Amino acid sequence: MSNQPFEQLALLDRLVHEPARLSILTALSACKTADFLFLQRLTGLSKGNLSSHLSKLEEGGLVTIAKAFEGKISKTTVAMTADGRKQLERHWNDLERIRKQATKWKPEEKS
């Protein structure tokens, strides 16, 4: 692994680091479950975009999605998995480490 902080930045997990997904994961880390409408209002994303992000997170094992009917209305509830919480924590630790390294970083002088 490179010691250059900017190269490490490129190696961050894109599944977590993408801003919309990071917003979703941050919200889910602060609650037990949240429904689709809440996540949509929180991120401002369209239904299609939010569904796409949630599917990716579910495929990555970071969240679980439960669908149920309340009367005739379909309700989608999303929860973060234990693995998801660990990965988000690791992601924040990585970012913090890279930030610290970046503040100490000095460009190499060419002779």
Partner 1 sequence: MTQIGLRHKLVCMKTAALPLDQIQDITANYSDRQGLRIIPIGLAVMIQGFPRLLPIEIFGIDSMLVALAAGFAGYWLVGLYYRHRFGRVEELTYEGQPLWKHLAFVFVAFLASMIVDLQFHPPVFVSGLVIAAWLAYTAWPSRRLRGEYSSIAMVLALLSLGQLVGEPQETVAKAYGFWFGALLLIAGIRDHVAFVRFFPPLEQQHE
- Contact residues for partner 1 (CB under 8 A)? 18-20, 22-23, 26-49, 77
Q: Which is nearer to partner 1, 5 or 38 (CB)?
A: 38
Distance of closest approach, residue 100 Cβ to partner 1, in angstroms: 19
Q: Which is nearer to partner 1, 7 or 35 (CB)?
A: 35
Q: How far is CA 101 from CA 21, 45, 89, in A?
A: 25, 34, 18
Distance of closest approach, residue 82 Cβ to partner 1, in angstroms: 14
Report d(CA 62, CA 80) in Å as an integer. 6
Residue 52: half-sphere exposure toward Cβ, Cα within 13 Å: 7
Distance of closest approach, residue 35 Cβ to partner 1, in angstroms: 5
Taking residue 32's Cβ as centre, other Cβ atoms within 10 Å add up to: 8
